[in-house]
Every structure is written in structure tokens, then in C-alpha cells.
């Protein structure tokens, strides 16, 4: 198997990004994403669901490390800049995304600022990337996936790959985080590019 460099010659613009964390297991996915979003280039905003705090405390020994300059927002405050479509953010990533949060986004409940932000991203036709970590799936989950895909969201399940022979948990996680960065349009050094065989 042949791989190319993960680097790309394109110029990437600074982005305004919301990173939302829910109570699904997999806080390490959030941490690795934040570790790979350069705060000097991008404007980062973070919001946690109620149960995300408990999962972070259980799964991240040192807690959640935020890049310098990252803005944290209260779940119940609708004063966050991304609560309105008039303040155009570029992308939102819900990582990991619980099935409860995914279902509430699919049905537009907007009962807190996390759900409202996701609703805004959909209505403004901005990037909404959901990273569910659940198995097996039931029909309700699949129907919610369908609704969100039809509304314009990207469903990017936390399904790691192994063809690069990862040696650590972080390297396994990074195979998913690399795909999130690709869909954000942020250059990444985590994964080499697949190369087809030369004819």
C-alpha cells in the first residue's frame, strides 16, 4: 500500500468553528480535534452538554485542555454569538455526538445553545459535522441520520481505520479526527493520503 504526504499546497482561510461535546463516550476525540485546530489561525468556541462534564471527568485524566484563546459558552445562555444566523460561523462539529443530541438536532428542538447552534448551521447552510459513537444502531437512529443528511449535515461516525497500523490509542483516534479536519477544510498532518497503485 502506498501513501502520500498529508500536506496540501492549498491556502486555507481562518475559520470560525464551534466544537460541541455531548455525554457520549469518546472525549478523547474532542481533545485530539482541539489539539489539531491551530488557535492562532482559527476562532474556536466550545460548548458542553450537561452530561459531557461527567464523561470528561471519567475519560480525560487531566480534564479538557482548551487551546489558548478558546471561548467557552454556557449551555443555557442564548447570548453566544453563534445563536443567531446573523453572525455567520463557518462550521460546527459535535464530537462525540450522543444519539440523544443527534435526535434533538434532527427534530429541531433548539432547547439550549448547543441545539440552537446546530439548528442555525442547518438553516444557514453552513457545515454541521456530527460524530456519533454508537453501536449497534436501531431504526430510530437511522431515521434521524436520514433527516439530518437531507437537511445538509455531515454524519461522520467515529469509526477508526487500521491500514496505517496505528500503535497507540491516540493514533487510532486520529484516523477519525483527520477525516473531521478534512471536512472542515483544515490542513492536517495526522494521516497520510491513500495512493492508488501506479499503472
Q: What range defines the domain where residue 108 resides?
A: 2-195
CATH number reported for the structural domain that contains residue 154 in this entry: 3.40.50.1950
Give residue 196's pLDDT.
Answer: 65
**For residue 193, what pLDDT is reported?**
77
Average pLDDT, the chain: 92
Domain count, the chain: 1
pLDDT in tens, 66-111: 999 999 999 998 999 999 999 989 999 999 999 999 999 999 999 9
Taking the model in full, what pTM does it have? 0.91
Beta-carbon contacts of residue 36 (< 8 Å; ≥ 6 apart): 177, 181, 186, 188, 189, 190
To the nearest 10 degrees (0 to 180), the angle between helices 99-106 and 139-151 is: 50
Predicted confidence band of residue 192 (pLDDT cuts 50, 70, 90):
confident
Residue carrying the nine cell digits 491551530: 38
Amino acid at each position: 500500500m502506498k501513501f502520500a504526504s498529508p500536506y496540501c499546497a492549498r491556502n486555507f482561510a481562518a475559520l470560525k468553528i464551534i466544537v460541541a461535546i455531548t455525554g457520549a463516550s469518546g472525549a478523547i476525540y474532542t481533545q485530539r480535534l482541539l489539539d489539531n485546530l491551530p488557535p492562532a489561525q482559527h476562532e474556536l468556541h466550545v460548548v458542553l452538554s450537561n452530561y459531557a462534564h461527567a464523561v470528561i471527568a471519567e475519560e480525560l485524566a487531566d480534564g479538557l485542555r482548551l487551546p489558548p484563546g478558546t471561548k467557552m459558552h454556557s449551555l443555557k445562555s442564548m447570548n453566544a454569538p453563534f445563536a443567531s444566523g446573523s453572525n455567520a460561523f463557518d462550521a460546527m462539529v459535535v464530537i462525540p455526538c450522543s444519539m440523544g443530541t443527534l435526535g434533538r438536532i434532527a427534530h429541531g428542538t433548539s432547547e439550549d445553545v448547543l441545539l440552537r447552534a446546530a439548528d442555525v448551521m442547518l438553516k444557514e447552510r453552513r457545515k454541521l459535522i456530527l460524530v456519533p459513537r454508537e453501536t449497534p444502531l436501531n431504526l430510530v437512529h437511522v431515521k434521524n441520520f436520514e433527516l439530518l443528511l437531507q437537511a445538509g449535515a455531515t454524519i461522520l461516525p467515529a469509526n477508526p481505520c487500521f491500514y496505517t497500523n496505528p500503535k497507540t490509542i491516540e493514533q487510532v483516534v486520529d484516523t477519525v479526527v483527520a477525516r473531521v479536519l478534512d471536512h472542515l477544510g483544515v490542513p492536517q498532518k495526522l494521516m497520510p493520503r491513500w495512493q492508488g497503485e501506479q499503472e
